[in-house]
Amino acid sequence: MTNVRQNDDDELENEDSYYNASDEEDDDDDDDCYIDDSEQDECVDFSVVFPPETFCPVDTNVGAMTTNTPTTAADFRYEFHEDSDVLHTPPESEDEELGHNYPTFKMSDGSIGVQFHKGLTFNNKQQAKEAIKEYAMETMKNIYIKKNEKEFLVAKCDHSGCPFHLRISKRVGNEFWQIVSFIDEHACHRTPRNRQAKTNYLAKKFVSTLRHTPEMKVKGLIALAIEKWGVKLSHDQAYRAKLKAIEIIQGAGRDQFIYLRSYADELRESNRNSTVIIQCDMANVGPIFQRIYVCLEACKAAFAFTCRPLIGLDACFLKGEHGGQLMAAVGQDGNNQMFPIAYAVVEAETKESWQWFLNLLLEDLNNVQPSQYAFISDQQKGLVPAIQNLGNHVEQRLCVKHLRDNWSKKYPGMELKEVFWMAARATTVPAWERAMNRLKAMNEKAWKDMKGVPPAMWTRSHFKLDTQSDLQVNNMCEAFNRSILEYRDKPIITLLEGIKHYITKRIGTQKDLMQRYRGNICPIIQEKLELTKRVADRWQPTWHHDDDFAIFGVTNGTETYIVNLIQKTCTCRKWDLTGIPCCHAIACIWHNKKEPEDYVSSYYRKSTFMATYSHIILPTNGPQLWRISRTAAINPPVVRRAIGRPKKNRNKANDEKKNPPHVLPSDLKTKTCKKCHLMGHNKRTCGGKRAADRLIPKGGNKQKKANKSDTQGTNCASGSGAGGSSAGGFGVQGSDGAATILTQGSQPPPTQDSQT
């Protein structure tokens, strides 16, 4: 067998290439090394073939170990090199003739600065240029590459007369670059400008800072650059570097669509029975992203088995590069807190997109636990008709808060507001009719508008009893939207993974909190029950002598209701709607010397709450382990941008506070003009007048204008009598004392002396 030695330094630097043989070479090696052991005896005694010293060699050169002296790393230096990735050729070895061992440059982690010296080698030209850039920034010197040739680099200092010089050349016959000339002397002073402070470099350096403090302002990055590198950045330069750094942290928004199918496969594989559906539009460039729907197995199973069948629907704007809407379906757990069920990213909020989302949601829930699910939502675009298309049997509620906001724009007033809420909170039909009659007497148009809305959508008196919830506002969806606010400007996969991480963390938090709670009824429900107990003292129950001690009549002297403890009903319908005993029922329960907590619905018990949060979301692997999709890559959606800077803050309603709590509205503050320094108006409404001009009594401006017009009329009459020109000119005193009217741009008339 022939040994072939490679004497080139590039072969030494890339020693791993010896092990990357082609398939043909592997086959040849296998043929040469093939051993036919079919006839060998399996019971061969290897101790006879090989002497004991073969596997237990005795080294006579090693002296006796002293037990008193501790062993250190220096004892192993004779055969150990600290960098196992670099071939170290000790003296007298076979490869000693390969040449000198030059030190190789390695980019430090920041703890040790870049150090140049003659003979230092680089793997390639790009590494050498990166090292020069890092050296210039660390030393705060304005160093630039003066010559960038194919075979060498020359770096100089920007200051004329500075002796600094660095030359890096490519070795002949080798692939590495080496410092052949280096003068590390400077005769220049530090300047706030550095040629190497480029956007890409700054973005990479800002990554570690912005990863922990993404809310850092541009001014903070400018101050950081001055402190770290002595460079004064412009606002635009720091802003561009921040955008690139955030893109590095979050991943490029466009590139994430390429891996969206791989992420969906990983999510389905890690969380079995989860639903992840991607819908695309086909175009000439390939599939274009349109929608994605995610319903995790832990969420849909927990809601279908342990929560009340009332679902809140809402959508919010996404603030990322590609826009879109985030749709969410949110339920309530046993403690009346939100419980996310499913979410989707869609192109826009339309009837079609809502219908697509609802069909997938009901299919998931009915596959787990068939039930008559009810929905509560705002009057959003396309949502109301989409729910109606599900069938007449589906209960649909409107958020009364949003309904009243829209209604109050046409019919404002606190008295109308009170009557509106009285009708909405009425639990019986007669109470609702009395409130509506009162509204009709106050404003018939407002009454007609509310009669046009089906009562089953907004008043408790017409709600169905299947959901055991009297919820009238969509606060659970608003709470969910607020909780994921930090993810709504992220790229698609970062957004989806952030929502999943939030739900996962919330499941653990709620579970730990409830484990430390000692009651049998969830704490928020227990507080409501305690408030109802205080009112129950005012009611007097009367047992009607049934065998089950269940039928009672309850009165407070003016009102009377019927309670059935076995059926858990009361004619006031509060117990029927919520599953929590009303004050009338509590009075009857106390009459039987029992506890009201025993009559609370099982939805509100601690055991049910723990069962809800016993379903956990399993972790997913990172992108390095995702399965490679064989289908065409998904392209990002085409977004039409409006003119101007994109808005990130939503439009607030009329009754929402537009200022922080510590800031008064502008109409309540005393204004001071910055021009005339008087109170009562601002600079914009001052009109350029002086303070003295504004001290005019009421009606003074009109009187002043009238006096001015009278004066002009008098001047016109006198001017025409003197033989002057038109009344639109200017008055000039003549030599005879008479006022002469001059037209603008004309010359004064000649005097008698000039005529003479």
If you average pLDDT over residues 509-525, what whole number do you get? 95
If you average pLDDT over residues 8-32, what whole number do you get? 40
List pLDDT tens digits, range 547-578: 999 999 999 999 999 999 999 999 999 999 99
Structure tokens at 582: 């009303």
Q: Looking at mean pLDDT, say which of 56-60, 152-156, 700-704, 743-747 comes out highest.
A: 152-156
Q: Please say if the pLDDT value at position 175 is more than 90.
A: no
If you average pLDDT over residues 283-301, what whole number do you get? 94
Give the per-residue pLDDT at 309: 95
Confidence of residue 667 (pLDDT cuts 50, 70, 90): low
8 A C-beta contact, residue 565 and residue 552: yes
Catalogue the E-assigned strands of 72-125.
121-122
Give the per-residue pLDDT at 41: 46
SS3 content of the chain, % helix, strand, coil (to 5): 40, 15, 45
Give the per-residue pLDDT at 80: 45
Which sign does the torsion angle of CA 146, 150, 153, 154 carry? Answer: negative
When mean pLDDT is compared across 248-257, 454-463, 506-515, 619-628, the lowest value belongs to 248-257
Give the per-residue pLDDT at 722: 41
Per-position b or e across 12-29, b if 16+ CB within 10 A of its CB: bbeeeeeeeeeeeeeeee
Give the per-residue pLDDT at 724: 42
Give the separation between CA 160 and CA 158, rounded to whole angstroms.
6
Rounded to the nearest integer, the mean pLDDT of the chain is: 80
Give the separation between CA 327 and CA 352, rounded to whole angstroms.
13
3-state secondary structure of 741: strand
3-state secondary structure of 303: helix
Give the separation between CA 466 and CA 488, rounded to whole angstroms.
35
Structure tokens at 29: 């090696």
Of the candidates 117, 91, 124, the residue with the CA atom closest to the CA atom of residue 102: 117
The more confidently predicted of residues 78 and 481 is 481
When mean pLDDT is compared across 96-105, 149-158, 294-303, the lowest value belongs to 96-105
Any idea what DSSP says for residue 737?
A: S
8 A C-beta contact, residue 303 and residue 339: yes
- Neighbour-count burial of 565, counting CB atoms closer than 10 A to its CB (0-12 exposed, 13-18 middle, 19+ buried): buried
Q: How many residues does the chain have?
A: 756
8 A C-beta contact, residue 175 and residue 9: no
Alpha carbon distances (Å) from 386 to 356, 392, 401, 670: 9, 12, 21, 50
If you average pLDDT over residues 385-400, what whole number do you get? 91
Confidence of residue 680 (pLDDT cuts 50, 70, 90): confident
Question: Percentage of the chain surpassing pLDDT 90?
Answer: 53
Give the separation between CA 21 and CA 33, rounded to whole angstroms.
16
Bridge partners, residue 275, by sequence: 295
Backbone angles phi, psi at 582, to 5 degrees: -80, 180
Q: Please say if the pLDDT value at position 98 is more than 50.
A: no
List pLDDT tens digits, range 437-451: 999 999 999 999 999
When mean pLDDT is compared across 174-183, 190-199, 280-289, 703-712, the lowest value belongs to 703-712
Q: Please say if the pLDDT value at position 166 is more than 90.
A: yes
8 A C-beta contact, residue 394 and residue 373: yes
Q: Please say if the pLDDT value at position 430 is more than 80.
A: yes
Give the per-residue pLDDT at 661: 64
If you average pLDDT over residues 722-748, what whole number do you get? 41
Say if pTM beats, i.e. exceeds, 0.85: no
Confidence of residue 13 (pLDDT cuts 50, 70, 90): very low
List pLDDT tens digits, range 225-273: 999 889 999 999 999 999 899 888 776 778 899 999 999 999 999 999 9
If you average pLDDT over residues 580-592, what whole number do you get? 96
If you average pLDDT over residues 609-620, what whole number do you get? 95
Alpha carbon distances (Å) from 307 to 211, 304, 358: 38, 6, 18
The more confidently predicted of residues 746 and 404 is 404
The more confidently predicted of residues 720 and 526 is 526
Give the per-residue pLDDT at 239: 93
Give the per-residue pLDDT at 497: 94
Confidence of residue 24 (pLDDT cuts 50, 70, 90): very low
When mean pLDDT is compared across 89-98, 138-147, 347-356, 423-432, the lowest value belongs to 89-98
Give the per-residue pLDDT at 457: 94
When mean pLDDT is compared across 451-460, 524-533, 592-601, 636-645, the lowest value belongs to 636-645
When mean pLDDT is compared across 35-49, 68-82, 234-248, 651-665, the lowest value belongs to 35-49
Question: Percentage of the chain surpassing pLDDT 70?
Answer: 73
If you average pLDDT over residues 38-46, what whole number do you get? 45
Q: Please say if the pLDDT value at position 126 is more than 50.
A: yes
Q: Please say if the pLDDT value at position 1 is more than 50.
A: no
List pLDDT tens digits, range 472-515: 999 999 999 999 998 998 889 999 999 999 999 999 999 999 99
When mean pLDDT is compared across 390-394, 408-412, 677-681, the lowest value belongs to 677-681
Q: Please say if the pLDDT value at position 84 is more than 60.
A: no
User: Residue 147: in which H helix or E strand, if any?
Assistant: strand 143-148
Give the per-residue pLDDT at 14: 42
Bridge partners, residue 742, by sequence: 730
The more confidently predicted of residues 657 and 8 is 657
Who contacts 247 (Cβ-Cβ below 8 Å, separation ≥6)? 203, 253
Q: Please say if the pLDDT value at position 714 is more than 90.
A: no
Structure tokens at 632: 């065409």
